[in-house]
A and B are shown apart, each in its own frame.
Chain A
Amino acid sequence: MSSSDFTLWVYLSRTPLLWLCLTLCVYGVVDAIAQRFGRHPLVNPVVLSVIVLGSILMATGTDYRTYFDGAQFIHFMLGPATVALAVPLYQNRLIVRRSLIPMLAALVCGSVVACVSAVMTALALGAPPNIVMSIAPKSVTAGVAMSIAEGLGGDPALAAVLVLITGILGAIMVTPLMNALGVRDYRARGFAVGLASLGIGTARAFQVDPIAGTFAGIAIGLNAAMTAFIVPWIMPYFV
């Protein structure tokens, strides 16, 4: 690289525009590839974009803070998008109202299983208590999980990482698993994936079926409240 090219690179790499554009372009290409594969569960656009962008950052020696200066504009949209989940909820409100009882039953059982099974497996495999505290809230949105983990004496950063990995695992698992179980009720499929793996699962649900997406969105909201309520109550039994 000549020195003027280098100055241009230094200038661009420090403005938010470069990383914002790059995130959008990488996602655009990856999403087109996912579509080409017929939205196969293993070709997850979030995973692929993260791998490509992570490699670019590593190859160029860019730190995350610089990247996030640009990417924050996309990250910010998560809030309004969560609020926008009210619209499919509103459009399907009759089906939702009819499904209240199965939903609440699945909510209670699902969020207890999410927390207890993760904690018990981690303990059985020999993870120490402070680590186990960070896995307990893995099925709620990252922000809430961080504050729950902190309240329990776990590590908030670890909790956030575990939440995202859970989201990706759920999004990959849900379609083949539900097909194998022969579940044709898209309300139940969506609600389960929203409960188990939140936003990334919900994004997947909307790609598969609008009703599934709607119920996944409701599950996010309900489970955030439920987990915050049950986790501090369950944990003393284990640690």
Chain B
Amino acid sequence: MLIALSVILLCQLAGEALARAAQLPLPGPVLGMAFLFCVMLLRDRFAQTPAVQTRLMTIEPTASSLLAHLSLMFVPAGVGVVRNLGVLAHYGVQLFLALILSTFLTLVVSVAVFRMVSRLLGETDTGELS
């Protein structure tokens, strides 16, 4: 748990540092996600001794316990929005309608394109190769 948490935080730190240093338009944690992915691939390839293997195996349960409560982590920012609704005083209705329509269209278009291309590649409705 301690090792897994350190690995996750180190990946985030490396991500933040790289995003800042290279002035990438990506959030640090997203780069951190890429780093952790690499760590897990490297673990399979190079961690031969059982001791190292077992320690790094704790990454999975630690990550799933973090992800189990993903919704909770948006609550503090969400409360901030409620206190900030003043910025919506002008044009709030227009913006809200624009968001509803746009979110609807984005969902429909992305899922339609995904399915269409997947079907062209000869996959079934559930993504299996037919």
Contact = CB atoms under 8 A, between A and B. Distances in A.
Interface of A: 23-24, 26-27, 31, 44-47, 49-51, 53-54, 57, 64, 67-68, 71-72, 74-75, 77-91, 95, 98-99, 101-103, 105-107, 109-110, 113-114, 117-118, 121-122, 125-128, 131, 135, 138-139, 141-144, 147-148, 155, 157-158, 160-162, 164-170, 173-174, 177-178, 181, 183-189, 191-193, 195-197, 199-200, 202-204, 206-207, 213, 217, 220-221, 224-225, 228-229
B90 A131 contact: yes
Contacts of B12: 79-80, 82-83
Contacts of A27: 69, 71-72, 75
B67 A81 contact: yes
Given A71-B76, A135-B98, A206 B107 contact: no
Interface residues of B, number: 80
Given A118-B98, A195-B106, A220-B30, A161 B87 contact: yes
Q: Which of A158, A174, A196 has the most CB of B within 10 A?
A: A196
Nearest to A140: B27
A161 B81 contact: yes
B117 interface: yes
B117 A102 contact: yes
A162 B95 contact: yes
19 contacts: A46-B71, A64-B79, A83-B12, A85-B67, A102-B114, A105-B113, A109-B109, A113-B105, A114-B102, A170-B107, A185-B118, A186-B127, A188-B118, A189-B111, A195-B106, A196-B103, A203-B70, A203-B71, A206-B68
